[in-house]
Amino acid sequence: MVIDLPSELIDRLRAAQRIVAFTGAGISAESGLSTFRDKQTGLWAKYRPEDLATPQAFQRNPRMVWEWYEWRRGVAAKAEPNPGHYALAQIEAAHPGFFLATQNVDGLHARAGNRNLVELHGNIRRTICFDHRHPADSWAPTDEPPPRCAHCGSLLRPDVVWFGEPLRGDALVRAQQAAAQCDLFLSIGTSTMVYPAAELPFIAGSNGATVIEINPDFTPLSKLANFVLREKAGTALPAIAAAMLD
């Protein structure tokens, strides 16, 4: 579906030099990945995601948490970037001042071609150890998962931010600085309710940027955004990219 953008919005898109895109679960849902709090299926239907994504849950039952993330990794590996992801990669390729901050852990933005990005909540496809955060690209097979770190013997875990854990300071600082300095901010498929990441569009707006919300649903940002597109990312972002690159 092709959408018509307001002429004022098109003018601002074309004038933008420093662009920040901020994405949430909505853009990944269009690639078939359930949002984090959607009802789970199969063996995991009886568990709440919040009960499996904490350091305490891992300490109580590391095998269960590891196997849940193995299942999620398999689902993410089968997903493909959608037109929204590719549109953001096109915009980056044409604008050196483009920066992407995502709350998603599936790695789809990088697979679509984005390079100047931070993954605020980590990446489900990376693995670290629980005690010292040593990165692990491979590990010895074991009959009692999780496997252990080759450096220190600690149990391995996914490199994601769990409930109760802080965001990595360097990633958050980079995103905050980019938001404060941009002249165009795209908030895409995010509820803007999960802090501290949710503050990014408000930082941009308070520093004079044009803030565009792309979301089928109302959010706390909706009343403050300069433009609101009640569309899915896969519809709105190709139109935005076309307008910017025309």
Q: pLDDT tens track of the chain, all 246 residues?
A: 679 999 999 999 999 999 999 999 999 999 999 765 565 555 556 677 777 899 999 999 999 999 999 998 999 999 999 999 999 999 999 999 999 999 999 999 999 999 999 999 999 999 999 999 999 999 999 999 999 999 999 999 999 999 889 998 799 999 999 999 999 999 999 999 989 999 999 999 999 999 999 999 999 999 999 999 999 999 999 999 999 998
Return the pLDDT at 168.
83
With left for phi above 0 and alpha for psi between -120 and 50, is residue 189 left, alpha or beta? Answer: left
Residues 134 and 211 reside in one and the same domain: no
Return the pLDDT at 45.
67
Return the pLDDT at 52.
87
Expressed as residue numbers, the domain containing 230 is: 1-32+80-121+167-246
CA angle, 185 as apex, 88 and 206 as ends, to 5°? 165
Query: Structural domain tally of the chain?
Result: 2
Residues 144 and 228 reside in one and the same domain: no
Residues 146 and 198 reside in one and the same domain: no
CATH of the domain at 72: 3.30.1600.10
Element (DSSP H or E) covering residue 109: helix 108-112
**Which of 107, 141, 160 is where one domain is finished?**
160
Residues 155 and 186 reside in one and the same domain: no
Return the pLDDT at 1.
64
Residues 225 and 140 reside in one and the same domain: no
**Which of 132, 160, 188 is where one domain is finished?**
160
Residues 101 and 14 reside in one and the same domain: yes
Pairing label, strands 98-102, 117-119:
parallel
Q: Strand, helix or coil at 5?
A: coil
CATH of the domain at 84: 3.40.50.1220
Residues 231 and 184 reside in one and the same domain: yes
Q: Are 17 and 103 in contact (CB under 8 A)?
A: no
Residues 102 and 17 reside in one and the same domain: yes
Which pTM value belongs to this model?
0.93
The one-letter code for the residue type at 92 is E
Residues 67 and 156 reside in one and the same domain: yes
Dihedral Cα 180, 186, 188, 191, nearest 10 deg? 40
Q: Could you list the active site residues?
A: 121
Residues 40 and 23 reside in one and the same domain: no
Residues 91 and 202 reside in one and the same domain: yes
d(CA 221, CA 212): 9
**Measured over all CA atoms, what is the biggest interatomic distance in the chain, rounded to whole angstroms?**
61
Residues 21 and 131 reside in one and the same domain: no
In sequence order, what are the beta bridge partners of 22? Answer: 101, 187
d(CA 51, CA 55): 10
Closest CA to 101 of 203, 8, 238: 203
Q: Give CA 77 to chain center in angstroms.
A: 15
